[in-house]
Amino acid sequence: MKVFEAIARGLVDLGHTQMFGVLGDGCVYVIDSYQRSHGGRYIGAVHENGAALMAQGWARVSGKVGLAAVTHGPGLTNTFTALVEGVKAGTPMVLLAGATPVIDAEHAQNVDQRALAAAAGAGFEPLRAPTTVAEDLSRAFYRAEAERRPVVFNMPVEFQWQEVEYEKPALRFPETRSVIPGSDDMDHAIGMIASSHRPVVIAGRGAADPQAEAAIQRFAERIGAPVATSLRGKGLFARDPFLLGISGTVSEEVALDVIGGSDCLIVFGASLNKYTSGHRGLTRGKRIIQVNPLASQIGRFTPVSVGLVGDPGLTADAMVRWLDEAEIPGSGGRSEELRQRIEAEHAQARSRLVKPTPAGTVDLYEIAFAMEAALPRDRVLLTGSGRFMFGFWNVVSVPGPRDLVDCNGLSSIGLGVATSMGAAQAAGGRFTVLVTGDGGFMLSGVSELATAVEQQLNLLIVVCNDSSYGAEHIAFTGHGMDPATSLLPSRDLAAIARSFGFDAVTVTSRDELQAAMARAAAKDPKRPMLIDAKMDAASVYGGAPISRP
């Protein structure tokens, strides 16, 4: 068969039957063979950055390596922001990229694609020869999974029409569910737990496996510790009455008090970056035990007292056995008083957070609470990057860590819409909702609305439309300056969405918000919907807008 056919068949034989992309002469034959001859499902995006983001959204929700394909030169350069987002978010993806003929040094689309990938922080794996398709393709997918980042698979066009004998690619990952049954580090960890009076257990995305979650839950109950999660661990321990919520910069009052007052943190599958640690304010001066399968992740962001390299769930069970053998009592941290404090905080959250706004607008938290109450519980939640996102992370629940995609690795606005389409595809028809700002929606989201309609995605986009760039509004008003430069023209985003085929409504009051959410909950699962929720920037971010540009 031809090399392009071998690549296409190799992708399917590796188990990758979902691809996103944009056609170009460097990838068109691979894409055509992939879907026409080998049964792969291909979704064409409008823009290459959108294609790469869709693959990342699919990867985040499915837990598998995402796949996208673009052409050489501008096809690849257009994905640069998405590649950086994937690197910073730790999202595994393989990006197939055509490469211009080596012999044509003056090809208009000739760029240094290896250097481009390196500048983004992505991996780069070249197709070395027609005869190495299986080996090179397998290596690209292995690296993407093992290194938890995008890898560019470079496909020279001069190879693609050459004849080769097909070789099935082979890919096998080593067993990583391991635990050290005994060591000095384990002894030190058990000693710290035994002497702790106020321990707290924190779990992250690395503990998303249900078996690991159950084991960590048993461990927390055994030592009498309340539990918390990182942002990307949201959804863990949902039924635990001693769940403090998210640890870090978005923690609520009880979580800040309990985590801040703890004397020992036992951390499973979370990186303890500056956000989870509350800029070190929640970790400073504490004994910290960190459990992670990768030694490279131990103490990567926050210094720890003890690092245990092993599977989070197996390690949790091993620590329970050691504690039982030593007959070490629990700490008593799961007290009735704490349970009542957590329960009261939840009960009072709406009255505490929702604020009155000017006529013609709704409050940010009012939107969040309406979503939580009305939308199907079995859902996937995405938040674009922007100041609005903090209003949703604590309020809107998700079934598990893979059901929250924060689109915030690079803190770039404009990434949410495309990412949500890949997430919705991976969700397999489950309700998927994206919350984004109007600036981010207009930046790069509008063009991909056509893709959502074409694919009949069960997707709801909620635009927090405050007619401003939120962070910049805060930057101006925080210095007592006129925020006019940060303000945006008032746009009818619902009309824009309807022109693409969306069901869409505009919300300007609490009653309209409730009606819109009820409509969304009952919407046609094959027709995407948009809610344009009008907000007042001054009410959300403080200060008073003086004039508009």
Give a yes or no: residue 332 inside a domain: yes
Q: Are residues 147 and 188 in the same domain?
A: no
Q: What residues contact 494, with CB distance under 8 A and at least 6 apart?
A: 504, 505, 506, 530, 531, 532
The pLDDT of residue 549 is above 70: no
Q: Which band of pLDDT confidence, cut at 50, 70 and 90, is reported for residue 419?
A: very high
Cα–Cα distance measured from residue 510 to residue 463, given in angstroms and rounded to the nearest whole number: 15
Q: Are residues 374 and 507 in the same domain?
A: yes
Q: Are residues 129 and 198 in the same domain?
A: no
Q: Is 110 exposed, middle or buried (0-12, 13-18, 19+ CB in 10 A)?
A: middle
Mean pLDDT of the residues in the chain: 94
State the DSSP code for 443. Answer: I
pLDDT of residue 28: 97
pTM of the predicted protein model = 0.94
Q: Are 169 and 10 in contact (CB under 8 A)?
A: yes
Closest to 229 in 3D by CA, of 108, 365, 362, 401: 401
Closest to 103 in 3D by CA, of 152, 159, 153, 154: 159
pLDDT of residue 108: 93
Q: Are residues 319 and 269 in the same domain?
A: yes
Cα–Cα distance measured from residue 261 to residue 240, given in angstroms and rounded to the nearest whole number: 20
Cα–Cα distance measured from residue 433 to residue 450, given in angstroms and rounded to the nearest whole number: 17
Cα–Cα distance measured from residue 288 to residue 294, given in angstroms and rounded to the nearest whole number: 17
Give a yes or no: residue 102 inside a domain: yes
The pLDDT of residue 475 is above 80: yes
Q: Which band of pLDDT confidence, cut at 50, 70 and 90, is reported for residue 542?
A: low
Give a yes or no: residue 174 inside a domain: no
As for how many domains the chain has, the answer is 3
Q: Are residues 194 and 117 in the same domain?
A: no
The pLDDT of residue 547 is above 60: no
Q: Are residues 122 and 146 in the same domain?
A: yes
What CATH number does residue 358 fall under? 3.40.50.970
Give a yes or no: residue 547 inside a domain: no
Q: Are residues 375 and 514 in the same domain?
A: yes
Reduce the DSSP state of residue 99 to 3 states and report it.
strand
Cα–Cα distance measured from residue 539 to residue 545, given in angstroms and rounded to the nearest whole number: 10
Q: Which band of pLDDT confidence, cut at 50, 70 and 90, is reported for residue 175?
A: confident
Q: Are residues 121 and 58 in the same domain?
A: yes
42-46, 209-213, 276-280, 543-547: the lowest-pLDDT one: 543-547
User: What is the pLDDT averaged over residues 126-140?
Assistant: 97
Supply φ then ψ for residue 248, to 5 degrees: 130, -150
Cα–Cα distance measured from residue 36 to residue 40, given in angstroms and rounded to the nearest whole number: 8
Q: Are residues 251 and 323 in the same domain?
A: yes
Give a yes or no: residue 347 inside a domain: no
User: How many other CB atoms are there within 10 angstroms of residue 506's CB atom?
Assistant: 17
Q: Are residues 46 and 122 in the same domain?
A: yes
Domain that holds residue 87: 3-156
Q: Are residues 335 and 427 in the same domain?
A: no
Which amino acid would we find at residue 197?
Answer: H
User: What is the pLDDT averaged over residues 448-463?
Assistant: 97
The pLDDT of residue 16 is above 70: yes
Reduce the DSSP state of residue 379 to 3 states and report it.
strand
pLDDT in tens, 242-264: 999 999 999 999 999 999 999 99
Closest to 362 in 3D by CA, of 532, 509, 541: 509
pLDDT in tens, 323-379: 999 999 999 999 999 999 999 999 999 999 999 999 999 999 999 999 999 999 999
Categorise residue 490: left if φ over 0, alpha if ψ from -120 to 50, beta otherwise.
Answer: beta
What CATH number does residue 231 fall under? 3.40.50.1220
23-32, 99-108, 336-345, 455-464: the lowest-pLDDT one: 99-108
Q: Are residues 380 and 429 in the same domain?
A: yes
